[in-house]
Structure 1
Amino acid sequence: MIGNPFAVLDRVDSTNNYAMARVNEGPVTDGATWFAMEQTAGKGQRGRQWHSAPGENIMLTTVLQPALALHQQFMLSVAIALGAYDLFSKYAGDEARIKWSNDIYWRDRKAGGILIENVLRGNIWQYAIAGIGININTPHFPENLANPVSLRQITGKTWDSVALAHELCACLQRRYSHLQAGSYQPLLQEYKNCMIRFNEPALYRKNGEIFTGVIRDVLPDGRLCLEKGNEMLQLGFGEVEFVFAK
């Protein structure tokens, strides 16, 4: 069960680093989760850092042993993104969305992100180290951040981040159980239903060019099908940038 055991760390460089160290030391229980009150070097996608004041937000990592083939890695990302979306949309409302590939958005502002690091033994996917950061109580963000938002800014309320983290684990477990049961297509369809900009014209940047495109599909391997004029692009992670108004 995700969140069993659940440990709260006062201060750590990164919950993903901490979890990876535990895996490297020996066997780790499937679903073991670590929540950090403070991270000194939180990790985001593509080498970015995740910043948060102590105790304000959800910063956790869960260790999973997915019984999946390596080519199904994106489906785990789908399940984790849906679990995070389930929690956030419950309190932020129906303007919450998933941004491909696995960010949590509210309107056009980023509320959370997911970083999954894998431990492989030959062709065996031994562990997935799934880190999740969600902005809960941050009242103001640094001006250099492009478009962040917190649950507090949306609702005007302060929240118990540890209690919400436990609730997040329950949301993740529900989606993970569907994945383990082989419900790949329903999960992928629901993921697309929750996506920001799906079947809507919007601006994107690729190789320095800004253009109008329409997301038409997401393939089981994670590639984004983006319609550009009369062309259908199939794009991998990092190959296209969503352009948002400042």
Structure 2
Amino acid sequence: MIGHPFHILDEIDSTNNYAMEQVNSGQVTSGTAWFTSNQTAGKGTRGKQWHNQPGDISALTIALQPAMLPLSRQFMLSIAVALAASDFFASIAGDETLIKWPNDIYWRDRKAGGILIENVLRGSLWQYAIIGIGLNINQAAFPADLPNAVSLRQITGKTRSAEEAARELCTFLDKRIRQLQPGNYDTLLTDYTSRLFRWQQPGLYRKDGEIFEGIIRDVLPDGHLCLEKDGEILKLGFGEIEFIITR
């Protein structure tokens, strides 16, 4: 069960770092979750800092033994986690909740959260996945250098218990991760693309310093994005393309 046990930390630099330390100590069971409402140095993808305020749930991390997946299928775990976070956010904010490739959570054209999955490998054995999820819950405003962010409080006008929200998110994660079976891969990928930000729609992108218009045509099972540019398909990996958001 995801979220069993569920540990509450008063303050920590990064719940992902803490979870990694606990996994390396050998004293963790699969499904263990760590939560804090005061994370001082959260991590985003590709080394970026995750900005959070006390009272959101950006500091939720789960340690999972992904025995249901081979390492070659690790993008399916990313899909399942993104869908779970989207499920949770949409249950409150509605069907304008989207997933920006590969696993950011968007509401309309604004970023509501993100996901960082770090792997613990022993040789070729995928021993653990450290799943960090950040969702903006109670922020009333964001710094000027984050003009594209949005929180549930801004959308709904209501504040929520961050701990209760984190526990609820664990139930959505449990449901999606249980779907990680070979017979469900195609269905999960279809669910994922049906919620994808800019799916089959023109948008602006930057690659190698060039800004151009492109259309997302497909996402492959290994996670590569297929983006149409001037009638040709670019096959892109993580970090190779930047979405340009205009408001």
Q: TM-score, normalised by structure 1?
A: 0.98
Residue of structure 1 in register with 2:56 after alignment: 56
CA contact (8 A) 1:58 1:161 kept: no
- Deviation by residue 1:96-125 (Cα, 9 ceiling, x = unmatched): 100000000001110000000000011110
Q: Report what 1:91 is aligned to.
A: 92
CA contact (8 A) 2:56 2:135 kept: no
Q: Which runs of 4+ in 1 moved over 3 A?
A: none
Q: Say whether 1:10 aligns with 2:21.
A: no
Unaligned 5+ segments in structure 1 are none
1:79: how far off? 0.3
TM-fit CA distance, 1:181: 6.2
More divergent stretch after superposition (57-66 vs 123-132)? 57-66
Is the Cα–Cα contact under 8 Å of residues 37 and 162 in structure 2 kept in the other structure? no
Structure 2 CA distance for aligned equivalents of residues 151 and 9 of structure 1? 23
Q: CA deviation at 1:226?
A: 0.3
Distance in structure 1 (CA, Å) of the matches to 2:199 and 2:111: 17
Distance in structure 2 (CA, Å) of the matches to 1:92 and 1:86: 10
Q: CA offsets, 1:217-239, max 9 Å, x none? A: 00000000000011100000000
Instruction: Please say if residues 115 and 133 of structure 2, whose CA atoms lie closer than 8 Å, have aligned partners that are also in contact.
Output: yes
For residue 220 of structure 1, give the secondary structure of its aligned residue in structure 2: coil
What residue is the counterpart of 1:71 in the other structure?
72
Identity of paired residues, percent? 63
Partner SS state of residue 13, structure 2:
coil
Q: Which residue of 1 aligns with 2:28?
A: 28
Q: What pairs with 1:226-237 in structure 2 (closer than 5 Å)? A: 226-237=227-238
- Give the 3-state SS of the residue equivalent to 1:46 in structure 2: helix
Comparing 165-174 and 177-186, the one that deviates more: 177-186
- SS of 1:179's equivalent in the other structure is coil
Aligned to 2:146: 145
Which residue matches 1:245? 246
Equivalent residues in 2 for 1:94-243 (5 A)?
A: 94-180=95-181, 182-243=183-244
RMSD in angstroms over aligned alpha carbons? 1.0
CA contact (8 A) 2:114 2:135 kept: yes
8 Å CA contact retained: 2:15, 2:59: yes
Q: Report the Cα offset of residue 56 of structure 1.
A: 3.1
1:133 partner SS: strand
Kept after mapping to 1: 8 A contact 2:36/2:57: no
Aligned-residue offset at 1:153: 0.3
State the alpha-carbon separation in 1 of the partners of residues 38 and 14 from structure 2: 9
Paired residue total: 246
The answer to whether the Cα contact below 8 Å between 2:35 and 2:57 also exists between their aligned partners in 1 is no
Instruction: State the distance in 1 between where 2:91 and 2:35 align.
Output: 21
Alpha-carbon shift at residue 146 of structure 1 (Å): 3.6
Q: Which amino acid aligns with 2:47?
A: G
